């Protein structure tokens, strides 16, 4: 049985389509990532799967429960950690956990045992009696994840779990997520716009752009689709003057806003020839870089934009969506 099965899921706010006819499956014990910029539809997707938002069209089954007809079954099967903190800062770590356990009617003895187990797992047992308002951002994230696991969900939703955290804390949290997945064998769905996070944690990735999943596979397979090495050339003449260099070992040349990429094998051997050919065509070169394909290159390949550049446009779309909601 699939842990999650999504078919043609769609969510509209008036004329604005936040999630556009997406489909994917998640295996039991798999870490699946939705990778895309803010405003791409990741959080809206999670909200629908968690039965917190009603889908406009499509269906989803989580742990065998239909999200439309068996909402209670879905809610008992999932744990959620959203971007916005939901802890009570005036309660201790243990009290936050205990309150959550009571909501799920977990017997006291079992509840106390699990609270200790999970707080030890995320490294917070020694701080169990401290108020949450004294915790750092990383500690709060770890506590939220521990709380989300208290009722032993089959599927854990992590919505931008390391957003706003410093690199060291982010790396620690990745280790906790990997350990949780291994120890509890639960399926995990992560939304993120951090390339390194998706590459490190996820067994498979769905790249989502403007509400659509434009590519889906393992991180390695996605990067292999790009193939070879990538030379990125920044130039004010990138579109007006660049021509095919005519070298048989160039696999692909793609043009973007202010730069172009050349994909080939053995870039180190051919870099000098390429630069000489470009200069020979009178092209002014501002900078040149060379690297192996990354998920950033994958996103660029499928959307024609950098995920970093897309962040600014995503904010505009989010403002538009909020305006639609108000009306």
The residues spanned by each domain of the chain are 4-219, 228-292
Alpha helices in 81-136 (DSSP H): 93-103, 108-121
Q: What CATH number is given for 4-219 in this structure? A: 3.40.50.300
Cβ–Cβ < 8 Å for 4, 155: yes
Show Cβ contacts of residue 201 under 8 Å, excluding neighbours closer than 6 positions.
31, 33, 174, 177, 178, 190
4-219 shares its CATH topology with 228-292 = no
Q: pLDDT tens digits for 227-249?
A: 788 888 888 765 555 555 667 77
CATH of domain 228-292: 3.30.70.260
Can you spell out the DSSP letters for 69-80?
T-HHHHHHHEEE
Asked whether 275 and 285 are in contact (CB, 8 A), the reply is: yes
3-state secondary structure of 95: helix
pLDDT computed for residue 280 by the predictor: 82
Mean pLDDT of the chain: 87
Strand partners, 236: none
Q: Around 146, how many Cα atoms within 13 Å sit in the side-chain half-sphere? A: 31
pTM: 0.80
SS3 25: strand
pLDDT score for 261:
84
Q: What are the tens digits of pLDDT across the range 143-173?
A: 998 999 899 999 999 999 888 888 888 888 8
Nearest CA to 29 out of 197, 153, 193 is that of: 153
Rounded CA Rg of the chain: 23
Instruction: Give me the residues of the chain with pLDDT under 50, please.
Output: 312-327
Task: Look at residue 239 in the predicted model and tell me its pLDDT.
Answer: 55
């Amino acid at each position: 049985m699939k842990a999650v099965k999504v078919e043609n899921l769609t969510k509209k706010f008036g004329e604005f389509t936040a999630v556009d006819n997406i489909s994917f499956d998640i295996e039991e014990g798999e870490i699946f990532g939705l990778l895309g910029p803010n405003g791409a539809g990741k959080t809206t997707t999670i909200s629908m799967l968690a039965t917190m938002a009603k889908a406009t069209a499509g269906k989803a089954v989580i742990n065998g429960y239909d999200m439309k007809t068996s909402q209670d079954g879905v809610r008992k099967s999932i744990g959620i950690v959203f971007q916005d903190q939901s802890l009570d800062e005036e309660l201790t770590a243990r009290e936050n956990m205990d309150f959550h356990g009571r909501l799920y009617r977990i017997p006291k003895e079992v509840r106390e045992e699990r609270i200790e187990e999970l707080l030890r797992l995320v490294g917070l047992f020694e701080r169990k009696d401290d108020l949450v308002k004294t915790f750092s951002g990383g500690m709060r994230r770890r506590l939220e994840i521990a709380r989300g696991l208290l009722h032993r969900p089959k599927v854990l939703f992590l919505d931008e779990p390391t957003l706003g955290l410093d690199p060291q804390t982010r790396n620690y949290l990745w280790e906790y997520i990997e350990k949780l997945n291994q120890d509890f064998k639960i399926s995990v769905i992560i939304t993120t716009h951090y390339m390194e996070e998706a590459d490190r944690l996820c067994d498979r990735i769905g790249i989502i752009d403007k509400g659509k999943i434009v590519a889906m596979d393992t991180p390695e397979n996605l990067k292999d689709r790009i193939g070879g090495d990538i030379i990125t050339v920044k130039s004010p003449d990138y579109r007006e003057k660049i021509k095919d260099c005519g070298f048989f070992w160039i696999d692909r040349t793609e043009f973007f806003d202010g730069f172009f990429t050349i994909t080939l094998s053995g870039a180190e051997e051919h870099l000098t020839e390429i630069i000489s050919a470009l200069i020979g065509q009178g092209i002014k070169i501002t900078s040149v870089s060379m690297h192996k394909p990354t998920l950033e290159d994958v996103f660029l390949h499928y959307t024609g934009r950098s995920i970093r550049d897309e962040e600014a446009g995503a904010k505009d779309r989010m403002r538009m969506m909020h305006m639609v909601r108000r009306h």
